[in-house]
Amino acid sequence: MTYALPDLNSPSRLAGKHVLVLNWRDVRHSQAGGAEQYMHEISKRWVQNGVQVTWFTGRDVGQAAEDVIDGIHILRGGGVLSIYGHAALRLLRSSGRFDAVVDCQNGIPFFSPLFLSGDIPIVQLIHHVHQEQFRTRFSPPMAAVGRFLESSGAKTVYGQRSIVAVSPSTRLELRKLGFAGPIHVVPNGTMDIPQAVATRAPNPTIAVVSRLVPHKRLDLLLGQFAVAARRVPKLRLDIIGDGPERARLQQLAMDLGLDHAVTFHGYQPNNVRDELLSRAWLTASTSASEGWGCSVIEAAAWGVPCLALRVPGIRDSVVDGRTGWLVETPRKFGTAMVEALTAMREPDAAKDVSADCREWASCFTWDRSTRLLTGVLLEEEALRREGGDPRSRHSDLSTLVRFELPEGADLRSILRPTDEVALMNDGHVAVLMNGRDEFEAFAAVQKIGVPAAELRHAGRDTLLAGPGSAVAPADAFDGQ
């Protein structure tokens, strides 16, 4: 039987609407990173589907006050902190001309509900929680202000409005802070999957693509690399990226006697970065915490597994034992590096891991991220319009349902915009029902006459990969 699967979260459903994005920086800012790329890639796809998109963002040295990038209207003003005042004034002057708002929180929220009509759907987008960073990077009084704004202040102003988190780790951290409304997981997309993997380096090689900043903890990586280098002949480490830590890390490598084995390549264009990454046996992460592991998934696209500490964000990006290995403590990292490299010496094992990595990376596309974020906006819009209770959809439980769709059944009638649908090779339909437990999912499919269905709790990997993935079915009853 051939089904015309409903697409309730197509970005074309926003066509003709005007969406505002509040973001700290735009992609042409000198300090732009993954957070800017995330919202830019989605905004670009909205524009391609007939959506008018405007950004209010900060202004870097040398940047124009107004710009158009990929059809996105960019209005710049303000620096690291003054951007919030500039954005508030623009919001007050906007006279409600926006149909929806994506309010990107980078530690300090924009507090857009204070300046806009209550019927405008506003969705917070949060990559990671900054509570610990406030404690370690600012004076005690400033850190206390930052922690308050990110937690109690945001909860008071945004209320039960929907939040988008880029990973289950970020959602968990938000729940710990007491956010009680709906929190939807919309992971990052990644680069297009190369058609074939490259020939890897003849000698065991680790490649790391990273900004050289303190919380990435590359000093820890160098120390543990020194442990592994004593046991693995001809081991090499390529570090691609730049940042304020570079000089200190280069000196540390010399002090550890690693200058012959470690190369600091600095910032490189994409083609050079990809060439270095694709030849590696492993990539690695010793970061203290992330919202998501963008570099982990980019390496996986080349078939390169990741050895990483089991920390928020990174633990979501690695399928432990399949696309890499998670290490519990920093002290065990060097030994784990030796074990991973030993495993990768076996050609068949390396081939299997590479295939799993590429299959996992293929789950994360910007088109999919766009559909998921579109679905959240559409659901928030419906709640604002119809006056529904957002607490009825606050559950973090998700259920994967597989069934044969009866002739004439209206699948659309039981779906929410935040659900995902896939057609399986055996002709069955798979639906990832977000915010519903098994009982609620079973009751939904019964409404359209499904006599029997396979239902199971969607664990972290299934939630991230989507209903059609072959990589993560074994996590069905894993915790998130």
- Give residue-wise pLDDT tens across range 87-127: 999 999 987 789 999 999 988 899 999 999 888 999 999 99
Q: How confident is the model at residue 198 (pLDDT cuts 50, 70, 90)?
A: confident
Instruction: Tell me the per-residue pLDDT of 158-172, one tens digit each, with 9 for 90 and over.
Output: 999 999 999 999 999
Beta bridge partners of 402: 430, 454
Query: Measured on CA atoms in the order 223, 283, 201, 298, is the torsion positive or negative?
Result: negative
Whether residue 64 is predicted with pLDDT greater than 70 in this model: the reply is yes
The pLDDT, as a whole number, for residue 142 is 84
The pLDDT, as a whole number, for residue 475 is 44
Return residue ranges of the chain for CATH 3.40.50.2000.
11-185, 205-361
CATH topology of domain 11-185: Rossmann fold (3.40.50)
Show the tokens assigned to 284.
Answer: 């690695």
Beta bridge partners of 75: 56, 66
CATH topology of domain 395-475: Alpha-Beta Plaits (3.30.70)
Q: Give the residue-averaged pLDDT of 350-376.
A: 95
The pLDDT, as a whole number, for residue 423 is 86
Whether residue 473 is predicted with pLDDT greater than 90 in this model: the reply is no
Report d(CA 343, CA 448) in Å as an integer: 49
Whether residue 472 is predicted with pLDDT greater than 60 in this model: the reply is no
Q: How confident is the model at residue 478 (pLDDT cuts 50, 70, 90)?
A: very low
Q: How confident is the model at residue 4 (pLDDT cuts 50, 70, 90)?
A: low
Question: Could you tell me what percent of the chain has a pLDDT over 90?
Answer: 76
Whether residue 291 is predicted with pLDDT greater than 90 in this model: the reply is no
Going from the C-alpha of 273 to that of each of 210, 265, 344, 416, the distances in angstroms are 11, 9, 22, 40
Q: How confident is the model at residue 18 (pLDDT cuts 50, 70, 90)?
A: very high
Strands 306-309 and 283-285, bridge-based pairing: parallel
Q: Count CB-CB contacts under 10 A for residue 352.
A: 12
Whether residue 236 is predicted with pLDDT greater than 90 in this model: the reply is yes
Show the tokens assigned to 408.
Answer: 């004439």
Whether residue 264 is predicted with pLDDT greater than 60 in this model: the reply is yes
- For residue 125, which of 206, 37, 18, 64 has the smallest C-alpha distance? 37
Whether residue 439 is predicted with pLDDT greater than 80 in this model: the reply is yes
Q: Which helix (H) or strand (E) holds 176?
A: helix 168-176
Q: Which helix (H) or strand (E) holds 18?
A: strand 18-22
Question: Options 3.30.70.80, 1.20.1580.10, 3.20.20.70, 3.40.50.2000; which CATH number does 205-361 get?
Answer: 3.40.50.2000
Instruction: Tell me the per-residue pLDDT of 295-330, one tens digit each, with 9 for 90 and over.
Output: 999 999 999 999 999 999 999 999 999 999 999 999
Instruction: Tell me the per-residue pLDDT of 382-437, one tens digit each, with 9 for 90 and over.
Output: 887 776 666 566 689 999 999 998 988 899 999 999 999 988 888 889 999 999 99
Strands 183-185 and 205-209, bridge-based pairing: unpaired
Going from the C-alpha of 322 to that of each of 297, 325, 379, 471, the distances in angstroms are 13, 8, 35, 9
Whether residue 374 is predicted with pLDDT greater than 80 in this model: the reply is yes
Beta bridge partners of 433: 399
Report d(CA 225, CA 262) in Å as an integer: 9
Report d(CA 169, CA 288) in Å as an integer: 13
- Are residues 474 and 465 in contact, defined by beta-carbon separation less than 8 angstroms? no
Q: Give the residue-averaged pLDDT of 249-267.
A: 96
The pLDDT, as a whole number, for residue 306 is 98
Provide the b/e sequence for 80-111 (b: ≥16 CB within 10 Å). Answer: eeebbebbbebbeebeeebbbbbbbbbbbbbb
> For residue 170, what is the DSSP state?
H
Q: Which helix (H) or strand (E) holds 148?
A: helix 140-148
Q: How confident is the model at residue 470 (pLDDT cuts 50, 70, 90)?
A: low
**Furthest-apart CA atoms within the chain: distance in Å:** 71
- Are residues 337 and 315 in contact, defined by beta-carbon separation less than 8 angstroms? no
Report d(CA 231, CA 234) in Å as an integer: 10
Report d(CA 36, CA 30) in Å as an integer: 11
Report d(CA 137, CA 350) in Å as an integer: 41
The pLDDT, as a whole number, for residue 391 is 57
Report d(CA 123, CA 161) in Å as an integer: 7
Return residue ranges of the chain for CATH 3.30.70.
395-475
In 3-state terms, what secondary structure has residue 411? Answer: helix
Question: Could you tell me what percent of the chain has a pLDDT over 70?
Answer: 95
Show the tokens assigned to 426.
Answer: 């055996």
Q: How confident is the model at residue 469 (pLDDT cuts 50, 70, 90)?
A: confident
Q: Give the residue-averaged pLDDT of 242-246.
A: 93
